[in-house]
Amino acid sequence: MNPKSWKSLLLTTCSGVLVCAAAQAQTDVSALHAQIDQLADVVEPEVIANRRYLHQHPELSNREFETEKYLVKHLKAMGYEVQSGVAHTGVVAVLRGGKPGPVVALRSDMDALPVTEEVDLPFKSTVRGTYDGKDVGVMHACGHDAHMGILLGVAHIFVQMKDQLPGTVKLIFQPAEEGTPKGEEGGAALMVKEGVLSMEPKPEVIFGLHVLTMFETGQLAYRSGGAMASADDFTLVVHGKSSHGAMPWNSIDPIVIGSQIVLGLQTIASRQMDLTKAPVVVTVGKFDSGVRNNIIPDSATLKGTLRALDEGMRQQLHADVQRTASNIAAASGATVDVDIGGESAYPVTYNDPRLTARMLPTLKRVGGAGLVESPPIMGAEDFSFFQQQIPGLYVFVGVRKPGASLEEYAPNHSPRFRIDESGLKLAVRTLANLTVDYMAGQNQGQGATAAQ
């Protein structure tokens, strides 16, 4: 046989081997998909039971002591390598698969809110706690109980699949997503600071999700790029000059000046920002000044929140608030102290476009006809701190019974918030499939193409 014939035979053989290897890999991943679906049915009662227990025993931010113990107990019983006390009460659990592959992180939040529950459920919360010095009801009014139940269910599935798992799973149960008590550090920012993403095993990507009643059960929602807004609190203190209310000409009235600042801030969104790029929000939620009807006070304090879906616009928003408040105050002879992000400063929850494109076929397969593109959500999530370190994808799972109104299934953070638990299995399948498909190198061409 001449050299050209040998070369042709070799190329044909190699091509056949590669095609066979690719086909075998696809078969192996398809088998994992089928196993996930089977096991999701098995763990569904466990997911609901864990969620109900955690719902009945909520704890506030940085105070999730019993929640931490509950998670540690269950994860150790499954065989995970468990580290507790991360960022005060957080838990990190690692499972090393039986096959080589990348490390994938999955995150659930843990904390409840200072809200008194008004939903009459057999597992209704009657817990009381202390928030900002006040005795308050405590409720999982945002679905973090469901998130923990979901991730425990995913953890159980991966234990059953350990020998076939092509990589390592790093589960992150994060405290204080709703914000820390005054003067304390916590949440995702502290977890990052303590090395949760930089310590071995180091994850390449991170996936997370949130249950929302804005979507119906069976719906799975995603958005590439800015999915949830940044959130920066702001405090403006206007310093004027006090006078008797009968002689306002002797004053520099901080109430009038503060009112002008409130109106001036509204023009930032309506006249200064390019809203064709992304929306922004400027909201003044508190205006505090004076003690008596006939005394013009020395100062006025305004508090509010700034929201943006683009990091560049977020920075412009900060600069515009500073300039607008300072110039309006100066025009009347007053001064103003501007503090932005002093109490809370969450970046944009930004879904990496390359990763989103790569995982979109997975979302389509899992979500089916229920997959929808989410509108921009102006609420914030400190999952964004993880996304600043490594590529991340954050999706939304519907938990409102189909056909039901938002009066029946109130929005997150309401004392009447409730969920349709039949939607939790989709969340379990979503996280498990995203993990396995990423580990197995599925859809890699999708991300590369989209990023070009």
Which residues participate in catalysis according to the annotation?
346, 421
Give the CA angle between residues 209, 212, 215 to the nearest 5°: 110
Distance CA 434, CA 154 (A): 11
Distance CA 337, CA 301 (A): 9
What are 221's strand-pairing partners?
372, 396
SS3 189: helix
3-state helix, strand, coil in the chain (%, to 5): 40, 25, 30
The residue ranges of DSSP E strands in 97-164, in sequence order, are: 103-109, 128-131, 134-137
Distance CA 179, CA 175 (A): 9
Give the CA angle between residues 130, 134, 140 to the nearest 5°: 50
CA distances to 40, 132, 168 from 159, rounded to whole Å, are: 13, 41, 11
Phi/psi at 113 (5° precision): -120, 155
SS3 108: strand
Distance CA 389, CA 384 (A): 9
Phi/psi at 52 (5° precision): -65, -40
Residue 272 has which token pair?
């200064």
For residues 426 and 45, the answer to whether their CB atoms sit within 8 Å is: no
For residues 204 and 441, the answer to whether their CB atoms sit within 8 Å is: no
- Which of 289, 303, 378, 371 lies closest to 334, judged by CA? 289
Distance CA 347, CA 51 (A): 29
Question: Which residues lie closer than 8 Å to 220 by C-beta, 6 or more apart?
Answer: 363, 366, 367, 370, 371, 372, 395, 396, 397, 398, 426, 430
Distance CA 245, CA 317 (A): 35
